[in-house]
Every structure is written in C-alpha cells, then in structure tokens.
Amino acid sequence: MKICRAKDYNDMSRKAANLISAQIIMKPDCVLGLATGSTPVGTYRQLVEWYNKGDLDFSEVLTVNLDEYKGLTRENPQSYYYFMNENLFGKVNINKNRTFLPDGTEPDSGKACENYNEILRAVGDVDLQLLGLGHNGHIGFNEPGESFSTETHCIDLSEQTIKANARFFETMEEVPRQAYTMGIKTIMSARRILIIVSGEDKAEIVKKAFFGPITPQVPASILQLHRNVTLVADEAALSKC
C-alpha cells in the first residue's frame, strides 16, 4: 500500500484529484468507481475546477458508484444520484448515459442488486476505485462482520445510521432503512484503489484498518491484500499511525 501524506483536507483533495486526473489523461475512456459522503466533496470540486480550466475531458469516462439508498428517487436531495449530479456529473462534460448507480427506486432488492451486478459485469474492470472510510471501517455500505466475498447486496442500515440521517428528512418514515451497495469482492476486483481519509476522528480507524489485523470486523482491512492501493490521508487522520 502506498501512503500519501497530506497536510490537511484541501491538500488531500488536491492530491486525490491529481491521481484521478492522471487516470483520465492516461486512459480517456477509463472506468472510475466513485464514492459519495463528505470526504470526496473537495476532490470533486478540484476536478471540476480543472475541467473548467480545460485541463480535463470526461466525455469518454464511464462511472459506477458504490451505493444508493433504497426507496429514494433521483430527485431526492439525499439520494446519492442527486449528490453525484450536484458535485460532479452536472458540472463536467460526462455523458450521463455512462454514469451508473444502483437503482434506489427498484423495490425488489434481489432485482436491483442483480441488475447492478449485470451492469458491473458488462462494464468490466474498474480502472480506479475511489473510496471513503467509515468510522467503523466500512467501505461502501459494507458494515463490520459482513463477508469479504459479496457482490452487490441490500443492507439494513443500523439504528445509529438511521438516527443520524433523520436530520435530513421531515419525518422519521421518510428516512431510508436500507441501501444497495457494491460488495467487497467487487471493490477488490478494481485494478487500482484510491482511499481518502481526513480528520482526527478517523485516526483510530485508519490505524486499525491499515496497520491492524485483516478481519471482517474492520471491512477496510481487506484492502491490505489488494496489490495497488493508495491511501491519501491528512496528518490528522494519520496521527495515530
């Protein structure tokens, strides 16, 4: 694993965006695996800035996202589709027909997951998979204790996550209880993985995930076995290593 030390969140974002840019420049029709959450926002902002300067062309890029809430439409501001549109897809010249997320509006979980697996199979190997890291070591929505050999599946969100998400919705009934996520097996099949982490609140889990034992209790620890992983983390996130 290569560890790239960044000064702070902005530096982490710029370094990560540099690696993604290099991928796009080297292979304009590359397949990017993308993440949502707060960590990649700065990375996407930097990519958009370079696109606006004329340094990047997304016209041939194809993307597959890690996850989506079950039951949320694309128009819902809490959906990951909406997030991707706001932060990246709506701001660069990507062909929307070449951007894929699990379909949160498909009520049949088996069907939603099989459809996404079919898309992933048809797309072929992901050239560069971007990941964030959950406080409990999750990647995508693969929570502690899950098998390392999963493909796309439906997960029940923990009570903790449901409560944390409640602030974004008017009523408790609207808060998603489930999500569709790419599995660890699929994530591990990417040619290259770029995981970005920022902040002191992630320092403990960075130490456990990348310097501790490989265990399903810390899903990200499996990344230690991938042959091409780059961790870009700021000093605060690396402060316990």
Which residues are the active-site residues? 67, 136, 138, 143
**Of the candidates 139, 187, 205, 223, which one interacts with ligand F6R according to CB under 6 A?**
139
Q: Out of 10, 18, 37, 92, which residue is the one contacting ligand F6R (CB under 6 A)?
A: 37
In angstroms, what is the minimal distance from the CB of 138 to ligand F6R?
A: 5
Is residue 139 classed as helix, strand or coil in its secondary structure? strand
Give the number of residues in contact with ligand F6R, rule: CB under 6 A. Answer: 13
Q: Is 220 in the site for ligand F6R (CB under 6 A)?
A: no
In this chain, which stretch among 21-29, 37-45, 50-58, 149-157 interacts with ligand F6R, using CB under 6 A?
A: 37-45
Q: How far is the CB of 147 from ligand F6R (least distance, A)?
A: 17
Distance CA 29, CA 137 (A): 31
Of residues 1 and 60, the one with the C-beta less far from ligand F6R: 1
Q: Beta strand 153-156 with 2-6: parallel, antiparallel or unpaired?
A: unpaired
Is position 140 an interface residue for ligand F6R (rule: CB under 6 A)? yes
Q: Are strands 67-69 and 178-181 parallel, antiparallel or unpaired?
A: antiparallel
Contact 227, 189 (CB under 8 A): no
Nearer to ligand F6R, 24 or 219 (CB): 219
Q: Are 197 and 13 in contact (CB under 8 A)?
A: no
- Residue 223 in contact with residue 186, Cβ under 8 Å? no
The sign of the dihedral angle between the CA atoms of 225, 226, 230, 232 is negative
| Four-residue CA torsion sign, 138, 142, 148, 234 | negative
CA–CA distance, 182 with 217 (Å, rounded to integer): 18
User: Binding of ligand F6R at residue 52 (CB under 6 A)?
Assistant: no
User: Which two tokens mark 227?
Assistant: 């042959």
39: contact with ligand F6R by CB under 6 A: yes
Candidate residues 132, 137, 183, 219; the one interacting with ligand F6R per rule CB under 6 A: 132
| 67 part of the interface to ligand F6R, by CB under 6 A | yes
Q: Which residues lie near ligand F6R (CB under 6 A)?
A: 35-39, 66-67, 132-134, 138-140
